[in-house]
Amino acid sequence: VPSDRMKAITIWSDLVADVLNQDDAKVIIERYDREKFLPPLDKTKFLVPHELTMTQFVTIIRNRMSLLPTQAFYLLIDGSGLASMSLTMAQVYREHQDDDGFLYITYASQEMFGHSKPL
């Protein structure tokens, strides 16, 4: 039985390696720690196709949170600010990915950014 278990572990680790090596942006999106109005996402890790625009990604996130059209929210990219909605995920990923290969995004309602423009 141990050899079957090792075989299963090897297969599983190969599958994980394949997923991590896909040509998609590896994104971790988390709620701002002081956020009071927006709901938490059901998951925080996403593999996002490079050709997806930020506008399309925002739409996906809005839908996952079931936000009303009147509810504003913002994405802070890598702690440095808001990305242009016309950029592709490839452009944002290339510019802001962390050394660990992930793109870190924080979402919050407007109170987090104060002077920033809405998405």
Residue 28 has pLDDT above 80, yes or no: yes
Residue 112 contacts by C-beta under 8 Å, 6 or more apart in sequence? 32, 34, 35, 74, 76, 106
The span from the CA of 57 to the CA of 48, in Å, is 8
Query: Which domains does the chain show, CATH number per domain?
Result: 23-112 (3.10.20.90)
pLDDT averaged over the chain?
83
Average of per-residue pLDDT across 98-114: 80
Is the pLDDT assigned to residue 18 strictly greater than 60? yes
Statement: residue 35 has pLDDT above 60? yes
Q: How confident is the model at residue 19 (pLDDT cuts 50, 70, 90)?
A: low
Q: Is 1 a residue whose pLDDT tops 70? A: no
pLDDT digits (tens, 9 = 90+) for 61-84: 999 999 998 888 889 997 768 888
With both helix axes pointing from N to C terminus, report the angle between 89-96 and 54-65 in degrees, rounded to the nearest 10.
90
Residue 58 has pLDDT above 90, yes or no: yes
Q: Are 83 and 48 in contact (CB under 8 A)?
A: no
- Is 90 exceeded by the pLDDT of residue 30? yes
